[in-house]
Structure 1
Amino acid sequence: MRLLMIGAGNMGGAMLRRWLEAGLAPADVTVVSPSGRTMPEGVRVVSSVPDAGEATYDAILLGLKPQQLSALHGGPLAGHAPRLLVSILAGVEVATLASLCDAAVVVRAMPNLPVAIGKGVVALHASATDDATRDELDRWMAPLGLVEWIADEAQFDDVTALAGCGPGFVFRFADALAQAGAALGLRSDQAARLALATLEGAAIMASDAAVTPAVLADRVASPGGSTRQGLDVLDADDALVRLLTETLAASAARNREMAAAARIV
C-alpha cells in the first residue's frame, strides 16, 4: 500500500509504527509534516502535500488536528484520487471529507491511544464499501487492536466519546483509585502501583470472561463483605453510571460542535 499521511502526531505516529511493525514498507509511506517531525527510518517526510502529478497513493490518511482542516479545503488534495481517504479527525463528517479529493471510498476512523501497543480500538464508518474493501480495511487496522464498524454515522460522535476519549477517563479513574488508597494511609507510590496492577488484571479478566463485567462484579462481592460494601457506594442511585453518562455526553456534544464548525469551513 502506498500511503500518504497528512499529519503524524501522537496518534498518527503510533498507528504508523504499528503498521511498519506489521510489515508495511517504509519506502511506501510519505508523511506531510511542515515541522519536519522525525519519522521512522525509511519513511519519506515532506513539508507540503505533493502534487497529484508527482505521485499516486492507494490511501491518504488525515492525521492533523480538526481545526487545521481548513488548510486542505480548495486545493492541496485536488487531483488526488486514492482508493481510500481515511480520516481520524474527531467530529468531521464523511460529506465534508469527500469534498477534499476524488477518493473512491471515504472512511472515518476513530482510534484510541492504546493502538500504540496494539491494544486499542478503531471504530470505522465508510461512505460505501464492498466486501473486498471492507476486508482490506479490517486487515489494515487489525494490528492496532479491536476493529468495530459503525453503520450509522450519526452514532460516530458517541463512539468517539466512549472509545476515543475513554482512555483519558480510565487514566483519571486509575489516578483517583490511587489517591483514594493514599487517603487510607498507603504511600502514594505504592497506592499508584497497586491501582494500575489492579486495573490491568481486572481488564484482562473482563476481556477474557464469558460473562459481563456486571456479573463479574457481583461474583467477587460476597454478601456482607467489603467489596459489596464499596459497590453499594458506587451503585447508590446509579452514582457511577450517572457520572460516566454525563462525562460521555459532554464529550459527544463537543464532537458535534466540531462537526458543525467543519461544515462551515
Structure 2
Amino acid sequence: MRLWMIGCGNMASAMLRRWLDSGVVAVGNVDVVNRGDRVLPGDVRQARALPDGPLPDVVVLGIKPQQLDEVAATHRGRLREVPLLVSMLAGADPARLSAAIPGPVAIQTMPNLPVELGRGVVAIHAPDAPTAARATVDRLMAPLGLVQWLDDPARFATAGALSGCGPAFLFRFIDALAAAGVAAGLNASDAAAVALATVDGAAAMAAASDRGPSALADAVASPGGMTRAGLNVLDQEDGIAALLDRTLRASIERGAEMARG
C-alpha cells in the first residue's frame, strides 16, 4: 500500500509506527508532508510538498482541524485523483472533507494513542463509502486494534470521545489511585508502581474474561470485606459512574462545538 501523510504529529506518528511494524506499509512507500522536519518512525521521507510521480492508495490527514482550509487550498488539485482520503480531524465529517477536497472518498476516523501498540481503537464514520473503499480502510486499520464503523454521526461522536479521550481519563485514574496510596502511607514510587501494575493486570483480566467488569468487581468484593467498603464509596449516587458520565459528556459537547466551527 502506498501512503501519503499530510501532517504527522503524535497521533499520526503512533499510527505510522504501527503500520511500519506490522508491514501493512513499507518505509519506501510512505511520504510525509510536514511544515518542518520531525523525528519520524523508520526515518521515512518528509518534505514541504507532495511528491511527484504516481498517486498513493491512501492520503492520511494528520493536521489540526483549523488547518484544513489551508491544506485544501495548497493541495486540492494534486489530491483530486487520489482514491481515498482518511482524516483524523476532530469535527470534520465526510461532507466537510469532501467539500474542502473533492474527488477522493472521504473517511472520518478517531483513533486513540494505544494504536501504536496495536491495542487501540479506531472509530470510523463514512456512511456513503463504497465496499472497496471500506475494504482498503479495514486493511490499513486492522493492525491498530479494534476497528468500529459507525454510520450514525451521534454514535460515532460518542464512540470517538469514549475511545479518544478515554486513555487520558484512565491515566488520571491511575494517578489518583497512586495519590490515594501515598496519602495512606506509601512512598510515591511504590504507589505509582502498584497502581500501574494493578490497572494493567485488571484490564488484561477484564479483556480475557467472559464476564463483564461489573461482575468481576463483585467477584473480588467479599461481603463485608475491604473491597466492598471501597466499592460502596465508588457506587454512591455521586460516585464514579456520575463523575465519568459528566466527564464524557463534557468531551462530547466540546466535540460538537468544534464540529460547528
Q: TM-score range by the shorter chain?
A: over 0.9
Once residues 64 and 97 of structure 2 are traced to their aligned partners in structure 1, the CA distance between those partners, rounded to angstroms, is: 14
Aligned to 2:29: 28
Report whether the alignment pairs 1:192 with 2:192. Answer: yes
Once residues 29 and 100 of structure 2 are traced to their aligned partners in structure 1, the CA distance between those partners, rounded to angstroms, is: 22
CA apart distance, 1:219? 1.1
Aligned to 1:82: 82
Secondary structure of the corresponding residue to residue 35 of structure 1: coil
- Any idea what the Cα deviations from partners look like across 1:116-174, whole Å, max 9, x if unmatched? 11111111111423334323322211111111111212322222221001100000000
User: Which moved further from structure 2: 35-44 or 153-162?
Assistant: 35-44
Is the CA contact 2:94–2:106 (under 8 Å) kept in the aligned structure 1? yes
Change (3 A) 1:32 1:166: same
Is the CA contact 2:20–2:42 (under 8 Å) kept in the aligned structure 1? no
Report whether the alignment pairs 1:105 with 2:108. Answer: no
Equivalent residues, number: 259
CA apart distance, 1:36? 1.3
- The two structures have a TM-score, normalised by structure 2, of 0.94
Once residues 115 and 217 of structure 2 are traced to their aligned partners in structure 1, the CA distance between those partners, rounded to angstroms, is: 27
For residues 175-190 of structure 1, the aligned pairs below 5 Å read: 175-190=175-190
Aligned to 1:65: 64
Runs of 4+ in 1 over 4 A off after TM superposition: none
Once residues 142 and 73 of structure 2 are traced to their aligned partners in structure 1, the CA distance between those partners, rounded to angstroms, is: 33
Once residues 180 and 102 of structure 2 are traced to their aligned partners in structure 1, the CA distance between those partners, rounded to angstroms, is: 53
Is the CA contact 2:107–2:129 (under 8 Å) kept in the aligned structure 1? no
Letter of the structure 1 residue corresponding to residue 63 of structure 2: L
CA apart distance, 1:47? 0.8
Unaligned stretches of 5+ residues in structure 2: none
Secondary structure of the corresponding residue to residue 76 of structure 1: helix
Change (3 A) 1:98 1:67: same
Secondary structure of the corresponding residue to residue 191 of structure 1: helix
Once residues 253 and 50 of structure 2 are traced to their aligned partners in structure 1, the CA distance between those partners, rounded to angstroms, is: 32
Is the CA contact 1:32–1:45 (under 8 Å) kept in the aligned structure 2? yes
For residues 1-265 of structure 1, the aligned pairs below 5 Å read: 1-23=1-23, 24-41=25-42, 43-50=44-51, 54-80=53-79, 81-237=81-237, 239-261=239-261
Secondary structure of the corresponding residue to residue 125 of structure 2: strand
CA apart distance, 1:184? 0.4
Letter of the structure 2 residue corresponding to residue 86 of structure 1: V
Letter of the structure 2 residue corresponding to residue 244 of structure 1: L
The higher relative CO (CA closer than 8 Å, separation ≥ 6) is in 1
- The two structures have a TM-score, normalised by structure 1, of 0.92
Once residues 11 and 47 of structure 2 are traced to their aligned partners in structure 1, the CA distance between those partners, rounded to angstroms, is: 19
User: Which moved further from structure 2: 167-176 or 252-261?
Assistant: 252-261
Is the CA contact 1:78–1:100 (under 8 Å) kept in the aligned structure 2? no
Unaligned stretches of 5+ residues in structure 1: none
Once residues 144 and 136 of structure 2 are traced to their aligned partners in structure 1, the CA distance between those partners, rounded to angstroms, is: 14
Once residues 259 and 93 of structure 2 are traced to their aligned partners in structure 1, the CA distance between those partners, rounded to angstroms, is: 6
- Any idea what the Cα deviations from partners look like across 1:55-98, whole Å, max 9, x if unmatched? 41211100011122231243422242222110011111111111
Once residues 236 and 207 of structure 2 are traced to their aligned partners in structure 1, the CA distance between those partners, rounded to angstroms, is: 26
